[in-house]
Amino acid sequence: MNGETRPVWTIGELARRTGLTVKTVRFYSDQGIVSPADRNPAGHRRYGADAVARLDLVRTLRELGLGLPEIRRVLERERALPDVAAAHAEALDLRIRVLRLRRAVLGAVARNGSTTEELTLVHRMARLTGEERQRLVGEFLAEVFGPDGRTAGAARSLTPELPEDATVEQVEAWVELARLAGDGGFRELLRGLAAAEVAECGAGAPPRPGLAVLVRETAGPAAEAGVEPRSPEAAEVVAGLLERYAALPGVAATGGASRARLLERLRAMADPRRERYLTLLAVINGWAPPEGSAPVLDWAVQVLTASAGPGSR
């Protein structure tokens, strides 16, 4: 011993040094988490420098969510701190996923003004396991595309895959997409679009650009340039679109394409639910936002509607 006096503090001084309340320090002392170095002549507890370090660690562990039994085991070296940290990190990950789920459900209800019955449905959709989500999506896509092998690629491209560490936005998108997939009218719409696409390509024909691609390539520039739908220039553009559409094998084999037929197809494709599904799908799968086709489809529909007349084809 070199005779050096080690500092000691009263419980009040220790509380000020650690940022804790006197009541908290006394509680930890009573629980044996931190022990006094000695007592003064009046019997009051006094603490050494090790108490400051010990209480700093206790405070950190408490803020990280550890309970007193675990803290005691860490302090007494019964459990290694890295093991405890790993276990709590895993628990926090689970807690975060639960909170994201709750946030998504509440956000969906707030936006849509849902009833109590819809709240239950939204919550159930959000809580589906990965296997349950795959089954729901698989049933939806099977009903839309059927067993036709020519639509397998399209079905894969429309498959949502919610990651385990999904963000709030991805969970919200999944909830909305799941509800959309359960809409019988939407399923019927997609089933009709898929069947028309297959028929237009023709049986056994090599893959060719579908109508959506033809519309973007043919009418996209004019729509983006703001060409007036009732103008001769617009009518000429859509006449070119009709010509390309009529050249598709399946369309040509059935007697060609009338304006009425093309107009019906474009109106179905312009349904806002279709574009909304693609937008939600991109959010869930972490893809770049899709190139919106609604403006050009709406423009082409306006042109066809304006130019249609008695006996027009």
Domain boundaries, the chain: 9-79, 128-307
Q: According to the model, what pLDDT value does residue 33 have?
A: 87
Segments in 231-271 forming alpha helices (H) = 232-246, 249-252, 259-269
User: 102 is written with which tokens?
Assistant: 């709750």
Q: According to the model, what pLDDT value does residue 73 have?
A: 85
Q: According to the model, what pLDDT value does residue 118 have?
A: 66
The full DSSP string for 184-236 is: HHHHHHHHHHHHHHHHHH-TTPPP---HHHHHHHHHHHHHHTT--TTSHHHHH
Q: According to the model, what pLDDT value does residue 129 have?
A: 76
The CATH number that domain 9-79 falls under is 1.10.1660.10
Contact 122, 108 (CB under 8 A): yes
pTM of the full predicted structure?
0.64
Q: Provide Rg for the chain, Cα atoms.
A: 33
Q: According to the model, what pLDDT value does residue 149 have?
A: 67
Q: According to the model, what pLDDT value does residue 309 have?
A: 53
DSSP conformation class of 158: T
Distance CA 282, CA 178 (A): 14
User: 28 is written with which tokens?
Assistant: 């930890």
Distance CA 260, CA 313 (A): 7
Q: What is the pLDDT along the chain (313 residues), one digit of tens a residue?
A: 454 566 889 999 999 999 899 999 999 999 888 888 888 888 889 998 888 888 888 888 888 778 888 888 888 886 776 776 776 677 677 677 767 767 776 776 777 666 777 667 667 777 777 788 888 889 999 999 887 767 778 888 899 998 877 787 888 888 889 889 989 999 999 999 998 988 887 766 555 678 888 999 999 999 999 999 999 999 999 999 999 999 888 888 877 678 889 999 999 999 999 999 999 999 999 999 988 899 999 999 999 999 765 444 4
